[in-house]
Amino acid sequence: MKVLLIGPQGSGKSTQGRFLAQYLQVPYISTGEIFRKLSQEKVGFGQIVKTILEEGHLVDDKTTYKIVKDRLSQPDCKSGFVMDGYPRNMEQLRLFDPKFDRVIYLDVPEKEVMRRLMGRGRSDDAPKSIKTRLDLYYRQTRPLLDYYRKQGILVEVEGMGDIQTVQNEIKKFV
């Protein structure tokens, strides 16, 4: 099964994605984790990614799609995967559509997202960076919800409960 987790940063996608991947016995793929690993490199593309992330921006669509397409072509993804972070906008979807079986939207209010992100302690979680990312999310990523809703594969899950409650809710839809 190919599943996309969608929601603002801090909505629990990573936590729920790892759980769901283990539950479905498929890989968990996070573009955010891929980019954070790249940003630790001192030269070349890693340094570019680091600067982009620290400014609260997203890596460009063509670069992102190439990385994702390459990752999904690997043998461990043949039975499916849980994706977090792709596509982030309609342009990425036009470049490469992984043809998800289910899209799970983790719905968390913005105030709670801000509280969660401020508590993570990551270098890209300064208040200005958080606000920039949330603005991008609301502008670019949320239109995907309408697309997947029309496809009949979108499920909305309340992300405010404790981790186990959210996990149990997600399991009902996969």
β-pairing, 154-158 vs 102-107, is parallel
* Alpha-carbon span 46 to 115, nearest angstrom: 29
CATH number of the domain encompassing residue 22: 3.40.50.300
Sign of the alpha-carbon dihedral angle for 3, 55, 129, 134: negative
Collect the ranges in the chain with pLDDT lower than 70: 121-125
Task: Give the pLDDT confidence score for residue 123 in this predicted structure.
Answer: 62
Task: Give the pLDDT confidence score for residue 129 in this predicted structure.
Answer: 80
* Within-domain flag for 172: no
Task: Give the pLDDT confidence score for residue 94 in this predicted structure.
Answer: 95
- The string of pLDDT tens digits covering residues 52-86 is 888 877 788 988 888 889 889 999 999 999 999 89
Domain that holds residue 124: 2-167
* Within-domain flag for 160: yes
Domains contained in the chain, number? 1
* Within-domain flag for 135: yes
* Within-domain flag for 173: no
DSSP track, 20-59 = HHHHHTS-EEEHHHHHHHHHT-SSHHHHHHHHHHHTTPPP
Task: Give the pLDDT confidence score for residue 95 in this predicted structure.
Answer: 95
3-state helix, strand, coil in the chain (%, to 5): 55, 15, 30
- The string of pLDDT tens digits covering residues 140-156 is 888 899 999 999 999 99
Task: Identify the burial level of 123 via C-beta atoms within 10 angstroms of its C-beta, where 0-12 means exposed, 13-18 middle and 19 or more buried.
Answer: exposed
Q: Tell me the average pLDDT of the chain.
A: 89
* Alpha-carbon span 68 to 86, nearest angstrom: 8
* Within-domain flag for 174: no
Task: Give the pLDDT confidence score for residue 67 in this predicted structure.
Answer: 80
Task: Give the pLDDT confidence score for residue 125 in this predicted structure.
Answer: 67
